[in-house]
Amino acid sequence: MKSISFLCLLFSISTIYAQSSADAVKHLGAGIVIGGVGGYAANKISKGQRGWTWAGAVGSSLVAGLAKEAFYDKPKGATWETRDVVFTTLGGVVSALALEVFTGNDSGRRGRSGNGRKCGCLVAELDFNQELDLPIFVENGTGDITSELQAAYILR
């Protein structure tokens, strides 16, 4: 939650200083794509370690923003634009957040992670030796599941 709040604050502050919204969106989009590729590669290489995923996403977009300013804009006579680097890096942060949502918690989907802790992935633990107390359904009812469940609740 802290990172999302920080990201919103950073977006609101950085858009004030943007040279144009179209240029900022282009840099943000490029950062998202580059950070997504770098973060996903780092995630696969490090076998899902969260820190390396973030480092790959943010680092690759930061390097791309710096390289664009140093090796593409400078030789053409353009001035150094730190805002372009910031927006490209912000795209890497956005892609790191997305990668964390989409690739997070892969190792523990069966109820336990590799180190024996709960994974937090909403896996139901059932004891199959325990008798389940199922509701009694009306045999010749209306066929509507809602009314069947209400009748079962009342008969209970």
Reported as a single tens digit per residue, the pLDDT across 123-145 is: 555 566 666 665 565 566 666 77
Whether residue 41 has pLDDT greater than 80: yes
Instruction: Provide CB contacts within 8 A for 142, sequence distance 6+.
Output: 148
Secondary structure in 3-state letters for the chain? CHHHHHHHHHHHHHHHCCCCHHHHHHHHHHHHHHHHHHHHHHHHHCCCCHHHHHHHHHHHHHHHHHHHHHHHHHHHCCCCCHHHHHHHHHHHHHHHHHHHHHHCCCCCCCCECCCCCECCCCCCCCCCCCCCCCCCCCCCCCCCHHHHHHHHHHHC
Decide which of 106 and 34 is more confident: 34
Decide which of 62 and 106 is more confident: 62
Whether residue 52 has pLDDT greater than 70: yes
Instruction: Provide CB contacts within 8 A for 64, sequence distance 6+.
Output: 30, 31, 34, 88
Report pTM: 0.57
Q: Rounding to the nearest 10 degrees, give the CA dihedral for residues 113, 118, 123, 124.
A: 130
For residue 17, the model assigns a pLDDT of 52
**Residues 85-90: what's their mean pLDDT?**
94
Q: Can you tell me the distance from the alpha carbon of 42 to that of 51, in angstroms, rounded to the nearest whole number? A: 9
For residue 3, the model assigns a pLDDT of 61
Q: Can you tell me the distance from the alpha carbon of 12 to that of 139, in angstroms, rounded to the nearest whole number? A: 60
Backbone CA torsion sign across 90, 86, 30, 34: negative
